Amino acid sequence: MTDKLNAHLRLGLLLLVTGLIAHSAAADGNAERGKSIAYTCLGCHGIEGYRNAYPSYRVPKLGGQKAAYLTIALQGYRNGTRQHPTMSAQAASLSDQDIADTTSYLASLGADTVAAGGTSGASFAAAAACAACHGQNGISLSPSWPSLAGQYEDYLVHALNQYRDGTRKDPVMAPMAATLTDDSVRQIAKYFAGLEGLETTAAE
Ligand code: HEC
Ligand code: HEC
């Protein structure tokens, strides 16, 4: 293991600890209220295979995604570390309480599958460096880190390329993604997409 990778892992541990503290300090979410807010969201996220146009990739699955990560993602669209016109507009319209309510509802969806899923423990050399945080089975080890198992392959490629070209800013993932080639991005995305985990959940 290289020193650089070690440094990333230490940073990851630090973020895990601070993430847990931030999580416990966050406003308590009211999932019932969140459900009505999420109705709009599931108009895109709740439709299997729904596509973003220009560039074309599938809208990420949220069912079973880690709660604190969903909050971090929405805050990212609000403060500009993540760029997407629709999502920035959606997130800008949400208060902190709205975000807490919506993410606690979304995180409650698909939770059973994620708990049971991806126990194959399959190993894959190019993904080994990722397993320390995202889990060998693609289910992340911290509520602040996204699970990747079962996520759409083309969305994973898109996300990794955004870290590589600097469109999406994150101090942990930018250097991780910078070490990847186009080929390994494709292989890694295919690997994680093929594991059992996240799901598309429709509005009830
Ligand atoms: C018009 C379709 C659309 C609607 C409506 C929409 N989203 Fe999204 N959402 C997207 C797309 C496309 C992305 C991926 C954007 C990117 O590339 O960063 C995304 C990304 C996200 C992510 C990041 C997922 C990840 O794995 O990082 C979260 C969280 C999210 N949306 C939550 C919501 C919530 C909550 C709402 C409702 C308040 C909502 N979305 C409404 C299309 C939509
Ligand atoms: C030290 C912990 C750590 C390691 C190691 C790590 N990641 Fe991440 N990863 C994160 C964090 C934290 C985020 C969320 C960053 C953000 O908010 O954009 C993330 C986000 C992602 C996303 C975006 C997911 C989404 O839903 O949008 C992908 C894809 C990803 N990582 C793939 C990888 C791959 C592939 C590797 C190995 C080459 C890797 N990661 C290694 C911590 C890590």
Which tokens is 142 given? 């911290």
Q: Ligand 1 pocket, 84 CB below 6 A?
A: yes
pLDDT one-digit tens code per residue, 129-176: 899 999 988 999 999 999 999 999 999 999 999 999 999 999 999 999
Ligand nearest, relative to CA of residue 147: 2
Q: Which CATH architecture has domain 27-193?
A: Orthogonal Bundle (1.10)
**Chain center to CA of 57:** 15
- In one letter, which amino acid is 122? A
Cα separation of 182 and 101, whole Å?
Answer: 38
Nearest CA to ligand 1 atom 31: 87
Cα separation of 125 and 139, whole Å?
Answer: 17
Q: Is the pTM of this model over 0.95?
A: no
pLDDT above 90 for 201: no
Cα separation of 194 and 138, whole Å?
Answer: 10
Cα separation of 94 and 78, whole Å?
Answer: 9
Cα separation of 22 and 132, whole Å?
Answer: 21
Mean pLDDT of 24-41: 82
Cα separation of 65 and 149, whole Å?
Answer: 10
Q: How confident is the model at residue 91 (pLDDT cuts 50, 70, 90)?
A: very high
Nearest CA to ligand 2 atom 16: 170
End-to-end Cα spacing for the chain = 47
Structural domain boundaries in the chain: 27-193
